[in-house]
Amino acid sequence: MSAINQPDTSVFNQLSIFGHQKVVFCNDALTGLKAIIAIHNTTLGPALGGVRMWPYKTEEDALQDVLRLSRSMTYKAAISGLNVGGGYAVIIGDSRRDKTEALFRRFGQFVKNLNGEFIAAEDVGTNTRDMEYIRMETEHVTGLPESIGGSGDPTPVAARGVYMGIKACLKELYGNDNLAGKSVAVQGTGHVGENLVKLLRDENAKVYVSDIDDDRLRQVAKKYGAEPVGHNSIFDLDVDIYAPCALGATVNTKTISRLKCAVIAGSANSQLEDETLHGKMLLDKGILYAPDYLINAGGLINMYSEIARFSKKRTMQLTENIYDAVRNVLKLSKAENIPTVEAANKIAEKRIADIKKIKTSF
């Protein structure tokens, strides 16, 4: 029994808070596998999500991460109109040291035992080779290399979605979505960041870039004619758009007071340190925030296309729909004077509720 006034940190309580359906703890002495698969919601279809391999300091950290990530996949799929639910898996370990074929195949056996309730995909610390190992044990995996019939690199698709999201915000603010002459600060010149810089420069936007990896920064800046800036000064630039394409939580109380942009739209997951607090702060400051899980859904759309056997053309069409989806979010946010992230959540939750009704009432 928990003591009076102590927060209830039990696993079941945490599952109840976020509304998770199922969490599977995978423990295997033979391969050293310690993994957690979280299935948040399968109303729209099987739970599709990444497999993250990370040396979590504690099991509690691993559980928190997988619960948070799986929930966001439910919202991402729902608002993107995809027929998949939300799930995620974490493998506790160092991806540079602890990877073996046997470990991933054992993980694949755990996925197989879920009979299609969870579909695994690549994420931080895993790659297409690891997905191939999982595929040796189960068909419930996506994001395989193109050479074996998979959907291949998702990052150009993810960048395309972010670009459409940026344009939808410009349309809202200026009545046209022309990027020529607009200035954009892209934080992170990694896989998605670089693809985004290319799209922006192709349309003659003025682009500033930052990265903690100096070589990468210089290389991308030179290749596309972007201006490199220090990674600490990116928040102080007088630009139209801030595009976070590195890690999460860069939009917080400290940075919001420094930002001078009109729009925040980038690929990073969980950009707002605190969804409720910082969503409201942005609304009050008049900064238009394109919800991250909506505009970075191109990666998920690419993986979904592999399962649904969509052509590349169809995948890109679905990704371009992000433009209209953002317009709808902004419309609702304006009509109800609520933060854009709250508006996005409402739209995603409504779709899930509506589909649940028709599935349970026929």
Measured CA to CA, the distance from residue 168 to residue 203 in angstroms comes to 15
Among 22, 171, 191, 201, binds ligand NAD (CB under 6 A): 191
Among 43, 155, 255, 333, binds ligand NAD (CB under 6 A): 155
Of all residues in the shown chain, the one whose CB is closest to ligand NAD is 190
Binding residues with ligand NAD: total (CB under 6 A): 24
Q: For residues 255 and 296, which CB has a smaller minimum distance to ligand NAD in the complex?
A: 296
Q: Verify binding: residue 154, ligand NAD, rule CB under 6 A.
A: yes
Give SS3 for 131. Answer: helix
Among 212, 222, 253, 359, binds ligand NAD (CB under 6 A): 212
Q: Is residue 171 within 8 Å of residue 332, measured between CB atoms? A: no
- Name the CA radius of gyration of the chain, rounded: 20
Among 44, 47, 73, 192, binds ligand NAD (CB under 6 A): 192
Residue 205 vs residues 134, 184, 294: alpha-carbon distances, Å: 42, 7, 23
Q: Verify binding: residue 315, ligand NAD, rule CB under 6 A.
A: no
351: nearest Cα among 17, 31, 45: 45
Q: Verify binding: residue 187, ligand NAD, rule CB under 6 A.
A: yes
Three-class DSSP labels, 66-115: HHHHHHHHHHHHHHCCCCCEEEEEEEECCCCCCCCHHHHHHHHHHHHHCC
Among 117, 211, 306, 342, binds ligand NAD (CB under 6 A): 211
Measured CA to CA, the distance from residue 19 to residue 30 in angstroms comes to 33
| Residue with the two structure tokens 């053309």 | 313
Residue 198 vs residues 267, 312, 331: alpha-carbon distances, Å: 14, 20, 29
180: DSSP letter = T
Among 22, 112, 171, 216, binds ligand NAD (CB under 6 A): 216
Q: Verify binding: residue 245, ligand NAD, rule CB under 6 A.
A: yes
The stretch among 136-144, 187-195, 272-280, 323-331 that binds ligand NAD (CB under 6 A) is: 187-195
Among 108, 193, 279, 291, binds ligand NAD (CB under 6 A): 193
Q: Verify binding: residue 319, ligand NAD, rule CB under 6 A.
A: no
Q: For residues 152 and 283, which CB has a smaller minimum distance to ligand NAD in the complex?
A: 152
Q: For residues 85 and 193, which CB has a smaller minimum distance to ligand NAD in the complex?
A: 193
The distance of Cα 78 from the centroid of its chain, to the nearest Å, equals 13
Q: Verify binding: residue 189, ligand NAD, rule CB under 6 A.
A: yes
Positions that interact with ligand NAD (CB under 6 A): 154-155, 158, 187-193, 210-213, 216, 231, 245-247, 267-269, 296, 299
